[in-house]
Structures are given as C-alpha cells and as structure tokens.
A and B are shown apart, each in its own frame.
Chain A
Amino acid sequence: MTTAVTRELSAELRGFREVQRLAYECAEAVAARLEPGVTERDAARMQRSWLRAKGVKDWFHLPFAWFGDRTAFTNFRVPLQFFPTNRRLEPGMPFILDMAPVYKGFTADIGYSGSLGANPVQDRLMADLEAHRELLLREVRERRPLREIYEDVDRLMVRQGYANRHRAYPFGVIAHKVDRVAERPWSPRLFGFGTQALKGLASDALHGHRDGWSPLWSPYRFSDHPPHPGLWAVEPHLGFRGTGAKFEEILVVTDSADPEQSAFWLDDDLPHVRRWAEDK
C-alpha cells in the first residue's frame, strides 16, 4: 500500500488532512477521559467542547457517541436513535465516537472505536477491519462500480462472520462525499447536520443525478457507477452480537490514469492504521 504521507499533497488536501488529524486527536483525547458512569451525551459534549476550543465553528454533523450494544445499532429502527442517549459507560463496554467538524472550511468525518478496559470481541472486529480498508482501496483503483464494491465488502463481512451495520445509516451508505464548506458567521443545523454541508451534499446530489452518479455510496442502483473523483468519507461498520466497530476516514479519488494516483487514503498515520502496524 502506498502511504499518503510521502506524497506531495496539494494545499487543499493538506487542509483536509489537518482537520482529519484534529478530529482523531479529539477522539483520542476524549476516549482517554471516558470513565465508568459517563453517558453518551457527556461524551458527545466533550467532543464538541474540545473541538470548539480548537477553533471548530461548523459541523458536517454534530459528534455522536454510542456505547455498549448501541455500537452495533441493535434494534435501531428510526434515525433519531443515532443521537446520544443517557446510557452510561461500564467497564469492558465498547464505544464509538463519530464526529465531523469543519475547520477553516475543510470537512472531516471520522469514526473512532474503543472500549473501556479490555474488550476482546471489539479488538477482533477492529483487527478484521484492516482487510476492508485494503479491499476498498484496491477495488476503487480498479474503477469497479461502487455498488459492486459495496457488495464485495458485504461478502467479506459475512465471510468474517459479522453483520453489515453501515446498512443502518441513512440510505445504508458505506461512504459519502465530503467537500469544502463556505465559512459563514451563522450556520444552523438540521437534525444534527450542518446546513452548509447539507447544501453541498444536495448540490452534489443534483449534479450527480444529471450525470449519473451520487455523492452517497449505497447498495442501491443510484450507486451503480464507477468511483467519482473527490473526497469520500468511508465508514465500514462491523457488528457482531451486540458489539460494533468502525473506522471512518477520507479516501481521495482522482481522475488520474495512474492507479496509484487514482485513489489513495488521505492519511495513513491514523490510530487504527498505527495499531494494525503495531500488531504485525
């Protein structure tokens, strides 16, 4: 796998990488402060204030936090259930922090999985996510239709013995496009999503609809097209009997003819990637 770190990044990509690193730093800082009794709401608030203090003013979406079997979206029926609840963290419980800050006009969307103390099941899930990261990059470089890649990810999950939990996200997406966002003094939020970011997504959806692509990477027909150049926040999410794990990071897709340049992960120096390297 090529490392994005050694690559000469354009100023724009550097901006995205900066905010993505910031978000992961936040996740690690908040995760270190989690202790028994902390609620999901507390954890979401901690992420928000940490990022605010670093200068984040707008959001793609507000931070989420899921504890226990909510990491696997057990019994999720309506999207409102994604919002943080008063569930308290207990020793051994898995958790996922998911945040999407906008910083200096650049958007990141990240997911961080961990547990309070040891959780061998989640460790295993995280380890098995590595194969998904490799599969996604390989097949995007092969320019396979996104819908087919989605199905391949699905098949790999089933082979591993897990359930596909990104299916629970709106439109069942495994990824969505992220973009630059105009900085406005005031940006209201709609159901936890920043209106500026939603505007960008909606305009992408409109253009995509005309040109036969979609900013949402889903299992449905509207994703039956080769990868569209741009930045994609990819979030494979595994679930296994009440325990969930995911990572989320930006995949850069270009229209370059060189396979290596046609798609690459924005940053290879992320907590989950480092962990996989350490385990080897």
Chain B
Amino acid sequence: MTLEGARERRVRTGGVELCVAELGGPSNPTVVLVHGYPDSKEVWSEVASRLADRFHVVLYDVRGHGRSTAPKPLRGGFTLEKLTDDFLAVADAVSPDRPVHLVGHDWGSVQSWEFVTVERTKGRIASFTSMSGPSLDHFGHWINKRLTRPTPRRVGQLLGQGAKSWYVYLLHTPVLPELAWRGPLGKRWPKILERVEKVPGGDYPTSSLPTDAAHGAWLYRDNIRARLRRPRPDAYAHAPVQLITPLGDAFLSERLYDGLEEWAPELVRRTLPAKHWIPRTRPDQLVSWITEFVTANEGGPVTAGERGPVTSTGTGKYAERFGGQLVLVTGAGSGIGRATAFAFAEAGARVVAVDRDTESATRTAELARLIGAPEAWAETVDVSDGQAMEKLAAKVAGEYGVVDVLVNNAGIGLSGSFFDTTPEDWKKVLDVNLWGVIHGCRPFGKQMAERGQGGHIVNTASAAAFQPSKALPAYSTSKAAVLMLSECLRAELSGQGIGVSAICPGLVNTNITSTAHFAGVDAAEEKRRQKRSARLYGLRNYPPEKVADAILRAVVRDQAVVPVTPEARGAHLLSRFAPRALRAVARLEPPL
C-alpha cells in the first residue's frame, strides 16, 4: 500500500461503506483530501505524507472507488447530494467538533465546490483548496454567459473548452467506457499517464483502477447534464477558497475561472506550469501552498464576509505564479540582479540574494523582505569559485529547500582590443561570466532535476552575445557562450519540466560600466572611460527594473531567448536576417 502508517477506518453512510485513512496527529487541524477521476485516495500519497507532519490528514475513497463500496444501483447513486452526505459523514467521524480544511483535485474538486456552496455544510468547512475541478454550477453559468452574449472571444473560449471536454462526451455513451476501462484502456492507462501526462511511475495508479474508472463514469452521467442545464443560482462559497490552476491542463481551460471572484470573494489564485495530475507531479509546491492557506485560515468556523483569507501573497503582477516559491539570484547586490530579486520579492517569492559583496547582498535581502518576500536571505559567494557554489547549493537545499527559479546573473564588464586583452583578463571575465553560470547550473540544476518537480533557470547573457564588437571581444565571447549554454541546457532539461531562458538585456543603466575593466589603458584613462561610459548608459537610462520584469515574464512564458531593450531586439532581429549589418556595426569605434 502506498499510504504508509495510515490508520484506516470504515464509515457507513447512505447504503455504502467508505474507506477512510488518517495520518498525522488528530489534535492538529484536519485536512481532508478528495481524489478525482479515475483515481483513488492513493493519488494523494505524496502530498499526504508531506502534510502529515503538521496536520491531521484524512483521505477517503469516493463511493465506488478504491476500497469503498459502490451504491446499488449505480445509476443515480453518484449525485452531488449523495457525495455531500458522504463528505459530512466522514467529517463528522474524523473531526466532530472542528471544521475541516478541504482539498480537492479533479472530480474531488468538483464535488468539494458543491460541499462548500451548499447550506447544510456551513460551519463544517474552514477552507477549500481547489485544483483542476470547477463547480458545475459555475460552469453552467459560464457557458450560459457565453451563449447569451457570444462575442468572438467568448465563442472561442466556449469552443476551446468544448474541445478539451471530448472525454466527457465519450463517458456519456452507455457500456462502452466500462468495457474500455475494464479491458485495454485500464491496462495501458499507467503507461499513458507516464508518457502523456509525465506522471512518474511506481505504485500509482493502484490495481483498483479499472473498477474505479468504470464506476466513476456515473459521476459524469448523474451530474453533468442536470447541473449544466439548470445551474444553481446561489452557489456562493461560504469558506475561503484557494484556486490552484495548472497551466498545461489538457482537460480544463484556465478561462473557466474568469470571474470566479463573483462566487468566491477574496479568492486566492495560484498558477503552476504543469499538467493535470499535479498531486503526483508537483507535491512539494502543493504542500507549501496548502500549508500556508490552511494555517492562515485556521481558527474557528469561518463564514464568508466575516473574515477573509489571510495569506502572504505578493502584490506584483506575477504573484499567482511565484507566491511562496524559492528564488536564488546571483549578482543580487546591484543592477539587474538586485532589481530581479526585488521583482520576485514583490511577487511573494522567498529570495536568496547571492553576491560577493556581503553588505549589498544583505541590503537586497532586507529590502526584499520589506516589499513582500515572506523570507529572504543574503549569501556571500563568488560565483567563479566552483567549490563555494557547491557548498552554497548544499546549504540552500538543506536550510531553505530546492530552488524553484535560479537566476545566474552575476557578470563583469571588460572592454579593449583583442591584443590588449591579456590572458589574465580573459581568465577573469570567463571565470565570472561563463564559469559563474556553469557553477550555478551544475549543482542547482541538478537538485531541480533530481526533485523532478519542474523549475526554471534564467541566465543573463547580453545583446553582445549576438552583436559582435571590436571593443568587447572577451565580454562578447563569454556572453555568447552563456547564450549557447542556455540553449543546450534547455534542450537537455525540456523533458523534465525545467525551462531555461537566456536574457539579453542590451544597454541598461547599471554600475557594470563603472566597475568594468578597460584593457590596454592606464588607470587614469580607465577611470575616465568608466565615467564616460557610465554617463552614456545613464543618458540611455534603460532601468534594470524593466529587465527584471522581462526575466519574470520569460519564466512565466518559458521563453528561450529574450532580448530586452529595443537595441537588443533590433540586433537580435538583424543577427537572423542581416548579419552583415551587425558586422558593419562591430567595426565602429565606441564613443568613449
């Protein structure tokens, strides 16, 4: 069995016997996990075991699934009313005095929406976390709204969801689904899940799958038509709701949840770049969001309007996506790195600010906490030191967790002709700009890949990666290498749900100009050129905050190469269609 250490009991209700498993201390807040279709409670095994440290975790097999018995006859035995009876019976058995926190996935979420919007469960539910399962009533209204005023966009949304619901139509045909599930489909399902949905193999799905799936077809037949035709007009949630939307869901469009705030005021939204089966593929992220939401809403029965959900969600425009995630930024003591750390902090992420200068890293972490990061730490590491980076990775994994987003940003500037650039200069610039990225990607990327729950790596390259220049041979070489490294790594990690982006900023107003080394000139001349270039970049005045914004956007959209400033975008375009123009630019003397 996959639920290790679970205490089992049977709960009788409405002619069926439900198999209920419990983990964790019964005195802790109770979290009830409701599974979907075609599943049994074991779909939650990864999530449940991680939640058990802090909560009293309760899972049950929905009637007709797993080791719960099926109603007789099946037809009419799976209505939402009866499922609500089941839930109340379980809740009364496991937590008679205190309301429970509800978490539902797929059909578990569909029925939980019913629980949380009907009158008779009032005071029994403290919070509800929904994933990949809309309320059928809200869905019905969603369709009606689009049918009564069919603008092109709304028609598109209807058709889009209509196409994603193909399996719902199939499940309404008599007998055939049962035959398929008990026959070839049931046998092949684990392989299909693994290949199409990237669900890791192992002891899931359980052997009861063919029966679960055959019985579960009645969930659709008993409820879908009835509810979509006549959705309840009063389906308002009476408990705080957290909505977790996997963006790669093949069965549900994210547009389904547009305007959900009407039904669930003060809704907390989260998004996740993943496919449908997130309890299997992203347990860590779910556990952290569930923990935060449950903790925030713990304490007495909550009725809507009385007390809203209180969670440390960020305020930035990507707060849904990055709230609570762990982000590590190198070179976070200044410029683009610092702005990036702040942008993630604003989105509610936990931030590790890495810089070789302790004071500025500390400052970044301090301000990050001030603007929304629930936690932020400063680490003093020189990215060119491989061993130090390995050590940092071990420390971060041990103390803060596996990094969700890694931003390899640290870099230094070096200008001067090829023959003025000494081997030491070359070594220095490659050590930081290229090896720094390698030293970052190796341990942290490895941790991400080993965890197997996705992630993202951002490497700061430069417009100089595709714009040659006689003034920047070493710098451009290092950045071109970073660009290619990112592309290769992206290919390698694509199968594991880890994205890699290369950011090519262009001329950005940061202090890279005043710290850059100018090869082949004396100290006074170097000082003069630093000042002059700082002034030029200052006149250009492209703020690092905009680059930070582009970095967050690149992670959200999983973009491969992102030129940021207009000149960088222009150069990127020319590098593809008119490389000779770039070569001409490369010969110009910079105005220093």
Residue numbers of A with Cβ under 8 A of B are 120-121, 124, 158-161, 163, 219, 240-241
Q: A241 to chain B: which residues have CB within 8 Å?
A: 342, 346, 371, 545
Contact of A121 among B338, B371, B511 (CB under 8 A): B371
Q: B360 to chain A: which residues have CB within 8 Å?
A: 159
Q: How distant is the Cα of A219 from the Cα of B364 in the complex, in angstroms?
A: 27
Say if the beta carbon of B334 comes within 8 Å of chain A.
yes
Q: A240 to chain B: which residues have CB within 8 Å?
A: 367, 371
Taking A120-B370, A158-B334, A161-B342 as given, write out 18 further A-B residue pairs in contact, using a Cβ cutoff of 8 Å, ordered by the A residue number.
A121-B370, A121-B371, A124-B367, A124-B370, A158-B511, A159-B334, A159-B360, A159-B363, A161-B338, A161-B363, A161-B364, A163-B543, A163-B545, A219-B538, A240-B367, A240-B371, A241-B342, A241-B371
Q: How distant is the Cα of A160 from the Cα of B538 in the complex, in angstroms?
A: 18
Which residues of B329-374 are within 8 A (CB) of A? 334, 338, 342, 346, 360, 363-364, 367, 370-371
Sample of 9 A–B contacts (CB below 8 Å): A121-B371, A124-B370, A158-B334, A161-B338, A161-B342, A161-B363, A163-B545, A241-B342, A241-B346
Q: A121 to chain B: which residues have CB within 8 Å?
A: 370-371
Q: B538 to chain A: which residues have CB within 8 Å?
A: 219
The SS class assigned to the B binding surface is helix
Q: A158 to chain B: which residues have CB within 8 Å?
A: 334, 511
Q: B511 to chain A: which residues have CB within 8 Å?
A: 158
Are B367 and A161 in touch, CB under 8 angstroms? yes
A279 to chain B, nearest CB (A): 16
Q: A163 to chain B: which residues have CB within 8 Å?
A: 543, 545
Please name the residue on chain A nearest to B543 by beta carbon. Answer: A163
Q: How distant is the Cα of A160 from the Cα of B511 in the complex, in angstroms?
A: 13
Chain B interface size, as a band, is 10 to 19
Q: A161 to chain B: which residues have CB within 8 Å?
A: 338, 342, 363-364, 367
Q: How distant is the Cα of A158 from the Cα of B360 in the complex, in angstroms?
A: 10
Which residues of B370-401 are within 8 A (CB) of A? 370-371
Q: B342 to chain A: which residues have CB within 8 Å?
A: 161, 241
Q: How distant is the Cα of A219 from the Cα of B370 in the complex, in angstroms?
A: 30
Q: How distant is the Cα of A120 from the Cα of B373 in the complex, in angstroms?
A: 14
Which residues of B153-190 are within 8 A (CB) of A? none
Q: B363 to chain A: which residues have CB within 8 Å?
A: 159-161
B341 to chain A, nearest CB (A): 10
Q: How distant is the Cα of A159 from the Cα of B543 in the complex, in angstroms?
A: 15
Please name the residue on chain B nearest to A159 by beta carbon. Answer: B360
Q: How distant is the Cα of A124 from the Cα of B543 in the complex, in angstroms?
A: 22
B78 to chain A, nearest CB (A): 49
Please name the residue on chain B nearest to A160 by beta carbon. Answer: B363
Please name the residue on chain B nearest to A163 by beta carbon. Answer: B543
Which residues of B506-532 are within 8 A (CB) of A? 511
Please name the residue on chain B nearest to A154 by beta carbon. Answer: B538
Please name the residue on chain B nearest to A219 by beta carbon. Answer: B538
The 6 tightest CB contacts between A and B, nearest first, are A161-B367, A121-B370, A120-B370, A161-B363, A241-B371, A124-B370
Which has the most chain A C-beta neighbours within 10 Å: B338, B364, B538? B538
Q: How distant is the Cα of A241 from the Cα of B511 in the complex, in angstroms?
A: 19
Q: A160 to chain B: which residues have CB within 8 Å?
A: 363
Q: How distant is the Cα of A75 from the Cα of B8 in the complex, in angstroms?
A: 60
Q: How distant is the Cα of A161 from the Cα of B334 in the complex, in angstroms?
A: 7
Please name the residue on chain B nearest to A161 by beta carbon. Answer: B367
B364 to chain A, nearest CB (A): 7
Q: B367 to chain A: which residues have CB within 8 Å?
A: 124, 161, 240
Q: How distant is the Cα of A124 from the Cα of B342 in the complex, in angstroms?
A: 15
Q: How distant is the Cα of A37 from the Cα of B100 in the complex, in angstroms?
A: 40
B543-565: CB near A (< 8 Å → 1, else 0) gives 10100000000000000000000
Q: How distant is the Cα of A163 from the Cα of B511 in the complex, in angstroms?
A: 13
A111 to chain B, nearest CB (A): 22
Q: How distant is the Cα of A241 from the Cα of B342 in the complex, in angstroms?
A: 9
Which residues of B298-348 are within 8 A (CB) of A? 334, 338, 342, 346
A128 to chain B, nearest CB (A): 10
B511 to chain A, nearest CB (A): 6
